């Protein structure tokens, strides 16, 4: 029997500019009458000890969720790694003994219910020398769907601010990253909504697999 995963904070990355959707917050797009953000929160709430949102701009737009909103603390909108660092910084400040954080994008309406468990299992299976894990469905890796240890927080800060590093997979490769696999059929659990066409496809998927 597998050991239960350690306490893990959930981080929803909702800082994208949604240019291909005409602006606004992609996480607020409704799929089957429920916003993607609400779907993500509902899925993570059963797996995580708490959930926070990474987003820039006015945090009041997420006030209805009741969740803490943390902005990037590295200038220049350097991408998801900055959001992950902001989440780790927030976690460190809580000083609550939690050593792990899982990140997910705010535009994935069909995330799996066993995400946190499977990521930790993949990490453990690779041995103590591999501190990171990310998800893969079919042939595609999803580096922003990942497991992050608090212990690498300062290393990540150095990479972002000292090296101007932007690519997640360049940084994770330095430390070792385990891969947790999911099938891409009948529903890719990491299908993400980037365009109006994606939103229509997601609505059709939700209708047939609700």
Q: What is the mean pLDDT of residues 133-142?
A: 97
The CATH code belonging to domain 8-208 is 3.90.550.10
Domain boundaries, the chain: 8-208
- What pLDDT score was predicted for residue 21? 46
191-195's contacts with Cβ under 8 Å and 24+ in sequence apart are 191/108, 191/109, 191/110, 192/105, 192/107, 192/108, 193/21, 193/26, 193/29, 193/31, 193/36, 193/107, 193/108, 193/109, 194/20, 194/21, 194/26, 194/107, 195/20, 195/21
* pLDDT at residue number 24: 67
pLDDT at 18 > cutoff 70: no
The pTM assigned to this predicted structure is: 0.94
pLDDT at 1: 52
């Amino acid at each position: 029997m597998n050991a239960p995963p350690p306490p893990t904070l959930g981080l929803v990355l909702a800082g994208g500019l949604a240019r291909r959707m005409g602006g606004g917050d992609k996480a607020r797009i409704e799929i089957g009458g429920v916003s993607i953000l609400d779907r993500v929160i509902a899925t993570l709430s059963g797996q995580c000890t708490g959930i926070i949102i990474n987003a820039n701009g006015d945090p009041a737009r997420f006030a209805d969720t009741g969740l803490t909103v943390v902005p990037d603390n590295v200038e220049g909108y350097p991408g998801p790694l900055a959001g992950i660092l902001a989440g780790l910084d927030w976690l460190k400040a809580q000083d609550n003994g939690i050593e792990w954080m899982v990140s997910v994008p705010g535009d994935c309406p069909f995330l799996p219910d066993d995400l946190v468990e499977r990521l930790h299992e993949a990490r453990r299976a690779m041995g103590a020398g591999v501190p990171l894990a990310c998800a893969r469905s079919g042939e595609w890796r999803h580096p922003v769907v990942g497991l992050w240890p608090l212990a690498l927080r300062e290393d990540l800060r150095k990479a972002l601010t000292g090296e101007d590093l932007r690519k997640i997979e360049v940084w994770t490769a330095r430390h070792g990253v385990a891969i947790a696999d999911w099938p891409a059929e009948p529903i890719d659990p990491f299908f993400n909504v980037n365009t109006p066409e994606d939103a229509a496809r997601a609505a059709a998927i939700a209708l047939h697999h609700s």
